[in-house]
Amino acid sequence: MLKRVENAVFSLRMPILLALALLTLVTGYYAAQLRFDAGFIKQLPTDHPFIETFQAYRSKLPPPNSIIIGVHPREGTIWTVDALRRVNEVTEAVFFLPGVYRGSVQSLWTPNTRVLEVNEEGLYAYNVIEANVTPKNIDDKKIERIRVNTLRGGHVGQLVSHDFTIASVKANLNEVDPKTNKPLDYIELSRRLETEIRDRFEDDKYEIHIVGFAKMIGDIAEEAKNVGVFFLLAFVLTTLAVYVYARSIVLTLLAVFCSLVSVVWQFGLLKLFGIGLDPLAILVPFLVYAIGVSHGVQQINLMSAEICAGNDSETAARATFSRLLVPGIMALVTALVGFLTLYLIPIPMIQEMSMMASIGVALKIITNLFMLPIVASYCKFSPAYVVRITKARVTRAAAMRWLAQIAQPRASAITLVISAVIFVVSVAATHDRHVGDLHAGAPELWPEERYNVDTNLMVEKFSMNLDAFIIIAETPELSCIDYPVMHLLDRFAWHLQNVEGVKYAMSLSTLAKLGHSVWSEDNPKFRALARNASTFSLTVGGVSTRTGLLNDECTMLPVIAFTQDHKATTINRVVAAAKQFIADNPMQGVSFKLASGNVGIMAATNEVIAEREMPMLIAVYIAIITLVILAYRDWRATICCCVPLILATFIGYWFMSWQEIGLKVSTLPVLVLAVGIGVDYAFYIYSRMQGYLDAGMDIADAYSQALQETGMAVMFTGATLCIGVSTWAFSALKFQADMGMLLSFMFLINMIGAVTTLPALAVLLERLFPRVRKQALAQGA
């Protein structure tokens, strides 16, 4: 069958290359149009109860997707004429940003910032900055009135920092831009926040702090533009390393070119399928490129061996095609299945990454297993090259024969013991790993980046921030004037207030107590819940549904906890505390629904990843086992190929715990890729070793021969990719630096496992369960 496929392919070499060239031109045209595409909604799990609650009440609650801009005088407080004028200018500028819901914009200057009080004449409600005060006529006397109003209205900690040094401007964002009816362009919004807000209003007198998802993703996208520099550096290092191995400019360019062509095809198809490139998925194309380099090195390794044996280019290319087609397809299909299993996680962004990576890996079958040997068949190699590569191969073979001693009984036993100890230690260490973020602010950025500095400062200065965990109390109608229900909400808020990591918690009961005090001439003794419905009507009657603390019928009464950060440990504590309170305090007619707010959404995302991670890995290994059994028809092959992968996976978990890298949307694909790379190494080595075992060779000799043919290529590929991605450690994006370290480690560990643990297992299984074919051959002899 392989011979027929080989003849068919090589008899149509030129038509195939012309068709592939045309495909490259077409996809290249579309690839040039690919742009960054970030979105808040596509990061939400689609089938989690928390997200169902969020979707059901999103129009009635404070939206999790918003921005906060802090105006910060470098000296003094905001209670100056110039400072309040600057706050007004920023407020007006925010109104005209794309995607901003103008009715939600709030600052000291907006008419939705109110004071409610009771005096001798009755109920009195007015703006913090009254209508007759303008930026032109404001003076110190009016500022003192504004300061008192801010205190009376309870806006300290919300719109003004506790130390009066920062005034904030808040705005909610529409997912669809009302002007264009298209999804909001977060990258463009972030750019305009810089040019129209920060650059315009920040000077030697004022700092401007901007936080929110739109700004975070924009900063990541901006830094991602510099990612190309590190990709280029990794590409150059990889190319130089391939040349050192191949000793041929032609073969080096061939391996690199074929891998790059598939990336062009991938980008073009993404554009045709309407899939954008998310800034958090920027590493996926390079990961796919790395897989291509891995297979390309195997191709040129066997190609050079055939050239050294005296064959011409076409004969060498044919032999390379036939011998590597099956193990290559097996390895790529396994990696493809691995990426496809990511689609099982119901998070649109991860599903996008799954499709992106799957398309790239599928295209590698064409570029690396078909196009590369076809193009190689037209190459010419000089006698000088044959001399160079022959000398190099002799030196490498000697090194591989020395390394092959690991397949001796004593050495293999020691290797297995060491592997078992490492496995046990790694499994124990994985208990410390976390699903979710492990650092405050945006963990994708370094702590000293402007966004994280701004975030930490705003969290420190304000009671309320963007990290909110919202529980919905579904209650009978008019429960906002029912003391038992309101008392339950008040105790719930107090319970959350005392959870470590919660900065402030509130519900309608918080404002009801404040209202009771206001109606009692601001007497602090009356800052408690009223006991009868009539008084309750007074205390909550002035609370608008726009606060998100109630609806018109009083059947939705949220409890909101503002957290210091959104680290996994903080989220886990808050969720556990909320669930415990709900379990311990049942009330007829009252049903609590978790959860909304960005912390609730992150909790849902973390839970989905935690729940689906193990089934996904099991699906990957089932696919590997199935493919190995179909290809080799030998259960020993399954153990030899899979055990090193399992060992590498748990060592990777240990490394993540050690480096404080959380398992989340951006890191999960890396672990799947590591399995795919490990499969490459295992398949190429085992396929050659099994051939020699079936021919009757001793296990040690079979492994020595396999190592001489493919082992150096495997080791070289692992070391090259490791060195290439290690340069990412210097990236301005922290998550790229983390992924660089993780990938380098995984490339290295998988390579070591393939050349040590795999043969050691093969020796053990061969001693315990000798092959029938080998025994028959021995008896015949």
Q: What is the pLDDT of residues 512-570, one digit of tens each?
A: 888 888 777 777 888 888 888 888 888 887 787 877 888 888 899 999 998 888 888 89
Place of tokens 């950060």: 565
Q: How far apart are CA 345 and CA 337, in angstroms?
A: 14
Reply yes or no on whether the pLDDT at 780 is more than 60. no
Of 58-62, 129-133, 252-256, 592-596, give the lowest mean pLDDT range.
58-62
Q: What is the pLDDT of residue 771?
A: 63
Asked if 538 and 519 touch (Cβ cutoff 8 Å), the reply is yes
Res. 777 pLDDT band, cuts 50 70 90: very low
Q: What is the pLDDT of residue 774?
A: 44
Alpha-carbon torsion angle 660, 665, 666, 667, nearest 10:
50
Q: What is the pLDDT of residue 38?
A: 66
Q: What is the pLDDT of residue 70?
A: 94
Per-residue b or e along 531-547, where b marks 16 or more CB atoms closer than 10 Å to that residue's CB: eeeebbebbbeebeeee
Of 58-62, 603-607, 657-661, give the lowest mean pLDDT range.
58-62
Res. 280 pLDDT band, cuts 50 70 90: low
Q: What is the pLDDT of residue 467?
A: 83
Does residue 19 or residue 247 have the better pLDDT? Answer: 19
Using alpha carbons, select from 356, 357, 382, 295 the residue that is nearest to residue 330. 295
Q: What is the pLDDT of residue 203?
A: 92
Of 135-144, 209-218, 613-622, give the lowest mean pLDDT range.
613-622
Q: What's the CA angle centered on 508, arms 502 and 513, to 5 degrees?
A: 95
**Which amino acid is located at 570 in the chain?**
T
- DSSP assignment of 129-154, as one string? S-TT--TTT--HHHHHHHHHHHHHTT
Q: What is the pLDDT of residue 104?
A: 87
Using alpha carbons, select from 221, 337, 326 the residue that is nearest to residue 280. 221
Q: What is the pLDDT of residue 778?
A: 42
- Mean per-residue pLDDT, 258-264: 89
Q: What is the pLDDT of residue 775?
A: 42
Res. 401 pLDDT band, cuts 50 70 90: confident
Asked if 594 and 53 touch (Cβ cutoff 8 Å), the reply is yes
Reply yes or no on whether the pLDDT at 52 is more than 60. yes
Q: How far apart are CA 618 and CA 648, in angstroms?
A: 15
Q: What is the pLDDT of residue 544?
A: 79
Q: What is the pLDDT of residues 450-503, one digit of tens each?
A: 988 998 899 888 887 778 899 999 999 989 889 999 999 999 999 999 999 898
Per-residue b or e along 632-669, where b marks 16 or more CB atoms closer than 10 Å to that residue's CB: bebebbbbbbbbbbebbbbbbbbbbbeeebbbbbbbbb
Q: For residue 607, what are the contacts with CB-CB under 8 A and spacing of at least 6?
A: 48, 50, 435
Q: What is the mean pLDDT of the chain?
A: 84
Q: What is the pLDDT of residues 166-207, one digit of tens each?
A: 999 999 888 777 777 777 888 889 999 999 999 999 999 999
Does residue 29 or residue 342 have the better pLDDT? Answer: 29
How many Cβ atoms from other residues are within 10 Å of residue 379's Cβ? 16
Q: What is the pLDDT of residues 644-702, one digit of tens each?
A: 888 888 888 888 888 888 888 777 777 776 676 677 778 778 888 887 887 778 888 88
CA 205 vs. chain centroid, Å, equals 38
Q: How far apart are CA 491 and CA 496, in angstroms?
A: 9
Q: What is the pLDDT of residue 473?
A: 93
Q: What is the pLDDT of residue 188?
A: 87
Percent of the residues in the chain that have a pLDDT greater than 90, as a whole number: 24
Using alpha carbons, select from 559, 562, 600, 598 the residue that is nearest to residue 464. 562
Place of tokens 């099956």: 326
Please confirm whether the linkage preceding 603 is cis (ω < 30° from 0).
Answer: no
Using alpha carbons, select from 678, 663, 71 the residue that is nearest to residue 338. 678
Asked if 305 and 713 touch (Cβ cutoff 8 Å), the reply is no
Using alpha carbons, select from 101, 98, 267, 94 the residue that is nearest to residue 168. 94
CA 162 vs. chain centroid, Å, equals 35
Q: What is the pLDDT of residue 779?
A: 43
Q: What is the pLDDT of residues 313-347, one digit of tens each?
A: 889 889 888 888 887 888 788 778 878 888 888 88
Asked if 688 and 710 touch (Cβ cutoff 8 Å), the reply is yes
Does residue 721 or residue 771 have the better pLDDT? Answer: 721
Asked if 72 and 206 touch (Cβ cutoff 8 Å), the reply is yes
Q: What is the pLDDT of residues 116-125, one digit of tens each?
A: 777 777 777 8
Task: Give me the half-sphere count of Cα atoms (radius 13 Å) on the Cβ side of residue 688.
Answer: 27
| The two structure tokens encoding residue 379 | 């190459």
- Mean per-residue pLDDT, 746-770: 85
- Mean per-residue pLDDT, 730-754: 82
Strand partners, 592: 473
Res. 287 pLDDT band, cuts 50 70 90: confident
Reply yes or no on whether the pLDDT at 781 is more than 60. no
Q: What is the pLDDT of residue 15?
A: 92
Q: What is the pLDDT of residue 121?
A: 72
Does residue 35 or residue 772 have the better pLDDT? Answer: 35
Reply yes or no on whether the pLDDT at 163 is more than 80. yes
Tell me the CA end-to-end span of the chain in Å, nearest whole number: 31
Q: What is the pLDDT of residue 773?
A: 46
Alpha-carbon distances of 530 from 94, 118, 454, 554, rounded to whole Å: 40, 17, 40, 17
Q: How far apart are CA 152 and CA 146, in angstroms?
A: 10
Q: What is the pLDDT of residue 414?
A: 92
Q: What is the pLDDT of residue 677?
A: 67
Record the pTM: 0.75
